Chain A
Amino acid sequence: MTNVEFRMSNRRLVTVVALVLACAGAALAANTGTVTGRVTDRSTGEALVMANVQLIQDGVPTEYGAATDGNGRYQIINVAPGRYTVEASYMGYDPQAITNVLVIQDQNITVDLKLAETVIDLGIRKDIIGSKVKLVNPKTVTVERIITDEQFKRLPVTNLAELVGMQAGVSQSGGQTFLRGGRYDDVSYLVDGVAAQDAVYGTLWSSPRPTTDALQSVVVITGGFDAEYGEAMSGIIKAVTKEGSAKTTGRLRYTTDEVFPVPAYNYGYNRLSFSLGGPLPLVNRLRYFLSTEYYKTDDDRDCRYNTGRSPRGEYAVEGKLTYQFPKEFFLTREGLKLTLDAHHSNYQWRTYAHTYSFELEALYANRVRSYKGNLSLNHMLDPTTVYEAKFGWFNTSLMRAVRNFEAEADDTTGFWGFLRQYGAWDRYFFRGEDWVFNWEKYADYERSQGVPEKELVKNKREAVLALYRSYWLDRDNNRVYRHEGEKNFVTSYALIDYPYGVAGLFITEGDNRSWHYRATSNIIGKVDFTKTLNKVHEIKTGVNFTQYDISVYENSLPWDPNPFWDAFTYEPLVLAAYLQDKADFEDLVVRAGLRFDYLDSKAKVRAFPESLGARPEISDSLLPVEAKFRLSPRLGISYPITERVKFRFSYGHFFKNPSFNNLYTYADKSAAELRGRGNVIVGNADMSAEKTIAYELGFDAQLSDFFQFDLTAYYKDVFDLSGLRTVQALPQPYTMFYNVEYARIQGAEATMTKVLDDYWSARLGYTFQIAKGTASDAFAQYQRTEPYKIDYFLDQDQRHSVHGDLTFSFPSDFAFVLMRDFDVSGVANFGSGTPYTPTDTRGNPTGPENSARLPSTFSVDARVGKDIRLGGVGLALTCDITNVLNAEIITNVHTATGLPDYTGRRITQGEFSGGIAFGDFYYHPARDYDHDGYITQREAYTSYIIAYRDANDPPTYYGPPRKIRFGVSLSF
């Protein structure tokens, strides 16, 4: 099978889509699971025909149920993820209930029940036993790492990114997550089946995350995923949020480290969450789940020590309403559920850069604001057929610029002012934000001030370009805060106004040059069908569209009348459809699928990219970009040897459109604009999708009732990756994106799992990988005159990584009273060093690209938890200790030495002239050790060395030290 790339008209496209859909029979709803099994007589092993099997949640029977067939088998499809009790009953037999059965999205859980005949003398007795999970699922053809809410509770992690990072095949560095050596934007991140990542750059964790209370489960697939998943080459992270159950439950949780009086442990960390869910009064079928989370810390940088000046704040609210229609109506007989969910979050943070450590207010801050809403219909037509339709809207924006502290200081009234005054929430205001996004207000004001009409800003685009003369008004629009002589943006300089008094090392005044805003507003539609045709075949199909509305406004020299600036708005359309068959033969499971992806970028490209000449009819002529589509085949095979051992194989073509930034940035600029400002990177909307061909071979074995082992070897060829190349245009060259990069990734993952039994559970995962390619990311070859054509070890090539966790969990009936409801868990992470390019002290490479390696890292985290029942309320106390060993984790080094604190540069006294006197611009008392008003050569040298050592030993080159947090939660 090979992939095919087509360019075609919309009419042909519609035809193709219709054909694909016509072939489709049904599809598995993406966010539900299946419970299957067999009900037999315990003593004889005979199948019990027409036995009733029902799922019970929180003690309340659910809508989910089935009757066994002639072989005693049952199948309950379309089950919402969660924990259930599976209960089977049969005339003349004692019912049996298997508790704590975890249903995961897209997973087929097998629960076999063995019923005992009723002894008349004893009466009917329900046999209740705990779930014994089948550790090897013969129906899956790839390795899927499942993260449950229980792991969230027990393991010392606070967010989804940390949990994902603990999985085999996952590596993290620089705040990015890499799956199996792919690029950071090769991953698809889905929440309730809908893509939730930043579409402009493809980054993962700046996009909205479900609150931790709302997370039901997360599945990480590091390769070989089915045809229903697209827009990803490395893997899938799919989260499912909770919905209200039959019983009202709630939880209030607070975690803090502010109990410590010393800054070494007190990071000002506060996380408060609250969730409430259950049936609405009087309308039992209408259930809700509300969740909110608030987080604030003084230092989110996670570096060598508590800088105390890298604040982060987050709040998020989300809710889900579900209505299960009564079964009386014929259309709803098998089940019809309507779900409405909404999410709003606001994350804001200021990073920490050591060069700005004496003027951090000059460094940019960030704000990610997101809104999301989905309406879903899940309809079961008959016990073998179900479809789910979803319609949603998702809006997320990121603002990155220097903060407007003066405007923030005026934010003292109203609700937000109240929160600011009490230190609960500092609403960020950004320089120039108002100027761009309320440009009409400023135009009116300037008009009233007699500014000529031709000088007024006419739109957002012009406002971005005119940031150099921006100012802002107070709320009454009658007070100008900054203008003309006192600019909104000032060039930054590294001068002497700081305690070292040495120029050229630390920023001391001005503003960071970043001014960036991007937003995506998506409308999504999605339909998925599942049809179990017979014992063997289960067909899935689905179609989805995403209509994007993307806008980017940026200016990276905001004080300059001729800045690097860009402003664009595009509305690309993405369509996809898939069809796949899960064929479950007795001793072989085959999952074959085909996926169709379509992108209409609705953009134009330069007709003559080599011309930036003065004749606009040539240099500015544009050609429309034709829509593109791809077909990608997928094949997965699972070959069970026994019930506990299987081999699996998967092969697939995986496509992902380049990040929209790579298509659109600077793409609509005229030749004159490109000439006027050199060094620009121009997007290329004519780029094709990036492509991966992956092979995977795996082996799963359940070694005992509690131990499971899996081993997967994989190989990936990655083609057509986005990369930059210089366009030798006349009269001056520029840089543009093309599908030019290549990568080859191979490796193996192994995981040994011990499920919770005998009070302990554990997991040990090992990953080996070799990731080579021509560019670690799309920007890697920027301005390189001779592009790399030979593979080198990519930045994300972490050769060995080991993740392990160990949990002791003591139940409420444990022999030792003090240890009852007590949990202790530890997580250990080891990672070998990632590569970097060695250089001399002037930055000239001294070896091949990425031929040196950072030191390896090792850290241990721990959590201790104690549950206490107080009547109907559960009180839980936790203590989290991260980096228990207080290990010094080196995350970056100077490329000339391989050390984090030494650049290798030899500095001699002769480099300094001395002779700086009191009153001179560069005189600073801190350098004048004898206070005679005269900085000698020796003093200049000595003081420079001291400041230089600090400047080149940044705390950001290290991982975080030991941190301790305490938590308390109340649940009912």
Chain B
Amino acid sequence: MKLSTATSRSGRLAAATVLGLGLLLAAGWFGCGRVPPAGFWEPSAEDSAAIDAAVQAHKTMFKTSFNELGFLACDTLMPGTTATRLRSEIAENPFKQRYRTDSLEHRFFTDSFDLEYSFIASIDTLMEVNGAETTYVQETTATVTLVESIPGVLRMHAFRYTRFLRDTLFFPAPGETLRLQFYDTLFSDTSMVVEKSLYGTTTDGAVLRKSAGAWSLWKVAGGSRFYAPTPDDAPYLAYLYLTNGEREDTMQLRPDTLQQGIQRFYDIEDELPVYKVGDSLRVRSIATTVLDAANYSYLDRKRYEFRASDKIYLAEPGLHRLYFEQLPIEVLYEASGKPFEQGAENEGQYRSVIWGMMLKVEE
């Protein structure tokens, strides 16, 4: 009887234990443990390869044209140009810095164009409202930042020079007339070379979109930006006006919602500035912090010195980059103040800003 009671009690205990055990196991097994929040989407190796292929396919679009002949060399200042400017500008301000060379030709020499890019890929959930119906779609994109490093030298060849020394001021005794020393408007023939070290980078960008499993170029930046030696030390170009005679586009560095912006992305299908084959473009005006500068335009292997009247003829349909280059004028003369006869010197550093604006030219 006692054994029976014990067994019965044991049985009840065992049953309770098994029941509890079962509940525990059920809770443990079927109940969800807490899981971390969903991680951020990261592109697979296949995605990365596809993005890489898409960038490579458009590599020429993202490279500057420094390595093209037209960009490499141009006769910056035609003979007599400096003297003419000199006379007119001194009339306005006798203390203004002046060239001391004339008939300058400058040429870029560089042997390593290093185009690197990185991308950040993400999935966005977008809300689309179509009448009363709201849907959410996922959009997979990769924003690509391309950086091209351009080291090298700017070699300038001077054919004529003056003995004018820049920034040479003479402070006479009180009451005497202030005057420049060593001022000379006479140019002598010469043949000398000055080299400026060049180190600049071009930044460009694009947005790729994944659609139906394939990555393709969707948007491009309004323009590439070249700064030498750094954005802070290069001239600051705020905006310029581009006109074809019928329409004027404002190209801004900093974008807003109304004007075309260099630092902004545009759908290559329908958001880029569109011109017609046969249009003649000209840069009407620029807004810059460096007024004493040499400015150039470059399109399709041809370089132009900027003048408001110069026109750039659009002959070929397709996507084009219209480059606009600004060099502070001191870049274009020898800066040490030493006589030029002492030979080529590597004084100072090349500084410039170049925008490579994206245009779409249609038939």
Give A contacts to B, CB under 8 Å: 262-265, 304-308, 499, 758-760, 808, 810, 814-816, 819, 822, 824, 826, 862, 864, 879, 881, 884-886, 888, 915, 917-920, 924-926, 928-929, 931-934, 950, 955, 961-964
A918-B263, A961-B34 as given contacts; A814 in contact with B10, CB under 8 Å: yes
The contact of A263 among B35, B126, B143, B255, by CB within 8 Å, is B35
Which residues of chain B are near A826, meaning CB under 8 Å? Answer: 20, 24
Closest to A953 in B: B37
Closest to A915 in B: B254
Contact call A917/B36, Cβ cutoff below 8 A: no
Which residues of chain B are near A499, meaning CB under 8 Å? Answer: 40, 122
Contact call B143/A925, Cβ cutoff below 8 A: yes
Which residues of chain A are near B27, meaning CB under 8 Å? Answer: 881, 884-886, 962
B31 at the interface (CB under 8 A from A): yes
Contact call A925/B33, Cβ cutoff below 8 A: no
B21 at the interface (CB under 8 A from A): yes
5 nearest A-B residue pairs (beta carbon): A925-B143, A961-B34, A933-B265, A917-B263, A264-B33
Contact call A964/B28, Cβ cutoff below 8 A: yes
Closest to A950 in B: B37
CA distance A50 to B355 in the complex (A): 110
The contact of A933 among B17, B29, B263, by CB within 8 Å, is B263
CA distance A918 to B221 in the complex (A): 8
Task: List 8 A–B pairs whose Cβ atoms lie within 8 Å, in order of A's numbering.
Answer: A815-B14, A826-B24, A884-B24, A886-B34, A918-B265, A925-B143, A932-B264, A964-B29
Closest to B31 in A: A886
CA distance A864 to B22 in the complex (A): 11
Which residues of chain B are near A919, meaning CB under 8 Å? Answer: 203, 205, 221, 225, 263
CA distance A625 to B37 in the complex (A): 56
Which residues of chain B are near A917, meaning CB under 8 Å? Answer: 254-255, 261, 263-264
Contact call B221/A815, Cβ cutoff below 8 A: no
Q: How far is the CB of A935 from chain B (nearest CB, A)?
A: 11
Contact call A962/B263, Cβ cutoff below 8 A: no
Which residues of chain A are near B337, meaning CB under 8 Å? Answer: none
A886-B31, A925-B141 as given contacts; A808 in contact with B13, CB under 8 Å: yes
B219 at the interface (CB under 8 A from A): yes
Residues of B340-358 at the interface with A, using a CB-CB cut-off of 8 Å, are none
CA distance A702 to B188 in the complex (A): 120
Contact call B33/A862, Cβ cutoff below 8 A: no
CA distance A965 to B44 in the complex (A): 32
The contact of A816 among B11, B31, B205, B207, by CB within 8 Å, is B11
Contact call A931/B17, Cβ cutoff below 8 A: no
Closest to A920 in B: B263
CA distance A656 to B34 in the complex (A): 43
Q: How far is the CB of B259 from chain A (nearest CB, A)?
A: 11
Q: How far is the CB of B265 from chain A (nearest CB, A)?
A: 4
Q: How far is the CB of A920 from chain B (nearest CB, A)?
A: 7
Q: Which secondary structure characterizes the binding site on chain A?
A: loop
The contact of B28 among A815, A816, A881, A926, by CB within 8 Å, is A881
Contact call A931/B207, Cβ cutoff below 8 A: yes
Closest to B16 in A: A808
Residues of B143-193 at the interface with A, using a CB-CB cut-off of 8 Å, are 143, 145
| Residue among A304, A815, A931 with most chain B CB within 10 A | A931
CA distance A864 to B261 in the complex (A): 68
Closest to A960 in B: B34
Closest to B36 in A: A305
Contact call A810/B14, Cβ cutoff below 8 A: yes
Give B contacts to A, CB under 8 Å: 6-7, 9-11, 13-14, 17-18, 20-21, 24-25, 27-29, 31-37, 40, 120, 122, 124, 126, 141, 143, 145, 203, 205, 207, 218-219, 221-222, 225, 254-255, 257, 261, 263-266
Which residues of chain B are near A925, meaning CB under 8 Å? Answer: 120, 122, 141, 143, 207
Contact call B35/A862, Cβ cutoff below 8 A: no
Q: How far is the CB of B18 from chain A (nearest CB, A)?
A: 8
Q: Which secondary structure characterizes the binding site on chain B?
A: mixed
Contact call A886/B207, Cβ cutoff below 8 A: no
Q: How far is the CB of A854 from chain B (nearest CB, A)?
A: 19
Which residues of chain A are near B254, meaning CB under 8 Å? Answer: 915, 917
Q: How far is the CB of A627 from chain B (nearest CB, A)?
A: 55
CA distance A163 to B209 in the complex (A): 56
Contact call B13/A759, Cβ cutoff below 8 A: yes
Contact call B31/A962, Cβ cutoff below 8 A: yes
Which residues of chain A are near B225, meaning CB under 8 Å? Answer: 919
Q: How far is the CB of B116 from chain A (nearest CB, A)?
A: 15
CA distance A932 to B261 in the complex (A): 10
CA distance A886 to B225 in the complex (A): 55
Q: How far is the CB of B66 from chain A (nearest CB, A)?
A: 19
CA distance A374 to B25 in the complex (A): 45
CA distance A819 to B120 in the complex (A): 58
Contact call A819/B14, Cβ cutoff below 8 A: yes
| Residue among A304, A758, A824, A917 with most chain B CB within 10 A | A917
The contact of A864 among B11, B24, B257, by CB within 8 Å, is B24
Other contacts beyond A759-B13, A925-B120, A934-B263: 8, CB < 8 A: A307-B36, A808-B17, A919-B225, A926-B120, A931-B265, A934-B261, A934-B264, A964-B29
The contact of A886 among B33, B40, B218, by CB within 8 Å, is B33
Contact call A933/B28, Cβ cutoff below 8 A: no
CA distance A502 to B274 in the complex (A): 35
Which residues of chain B are near A810, meaning CB under 8 Å? Answer: 14, 17
Which residues of chain A are near B10, meaning CB under 8 Å? Answer: 759, 814-816
CA distance A864 to B28 in the complex (A): 12
| Residue among B31, B36, B203, B257 with most chain A CB within 10 A | B36
CA distance A264 to B203 in the complex (A): 43
Q: How far is the CB of B129 from chain A (nearest CB, A)?
A: 14
CA distance A931 to B254 in the complex (A): 16
Q: How far is the CB of A914 from chain B (nearest CB, A)?
A: 11
Closest to B9 in A: A758
A864-B21, A919-B205 as given contacts; A933 in contact with B264, CB under 8 Å: yes
Q: How far is the CB of B8 from chain A (nearest CB, A)?
A: 9
CA distance A264 to B28 in the complex (A): 12
Closest to A931 in B: B207
Q: How far is the CB of B227 from chain A (nearest CB, A)?
A: 10
CA distance A816 to B124 in the complex (A): 60
A499-B40, A884-B27, A925-B122 as given contacts; A815 in contact with B255, CB under 8 Å: no
Closest to A886 in B: B31
Contact call B9/A933, Cβ cutoff below 8 A: no
Closest to A883 in B: B33
Which residues of chain A are near B14, meaning CB under 8 Å? Answer: 810, 814-816, 819
Q: How far is the CB of B234 from chain A (nearest CB, A)?
A: 13
The contact of A926 among B11, B122, B263, B264, by CB within 8 Å, is B122
Which residues of chain B are near A758, meaning CB under 8 Å? Answer: 9, 13
CA distance A964 to B263 in the complex (A): 53
Which residues of chain A are near B222, meaning CB under 8 Å? Answer: 933
CA distance A813 to B203 in the complex (A): 81
CA distance A360 to B35 in the complex (A): 19
Contact call A305/B219, Cβ cutoff below 8 A: no
Contact call A760/B205, Cβ cutoff below 8 A: no
Closest to A936 in B: B257
CA distance A423 to B124 in the complex (A): 37
Which residues of chain B are near A931, meaning CB under 8 Å? Answer: 141, 143, 207, 218-219, 265
Closest to A500 in B: B40
A815-B11, A926-B120 as given contacts; A305 in contact with B17, CB under 8 Å: no
Which residues of chain B are near A306, meaning CB under 8 Å? Answer: 33, 35-36
A824-B17, A925-B120, A931-B207 as given contacts; A264 in contact with B24, CB under 8 Å: no
CA distance A808 to B19 in the complex (A): 12
Contact call A264/B143, Cβ cutoff below 8 A: no
The contact of B24 among A265, A759, A881, by CB within 8 Å, is A881
Q: How far is the CB of A505 from chain B (nearest CB, A)?
A: 15
Which residues of chain A are near B205, meaning CB under 8 Å? Answer: 918-919, 933
| Residue among B14, B18, B33 with most chain A CB within 10 A | B33
Contact call A824/B36, Cβ cutoff below 8 A: no
CA distance A955 to B10 in the complex (A): 44
Closest to B208 in A: A931
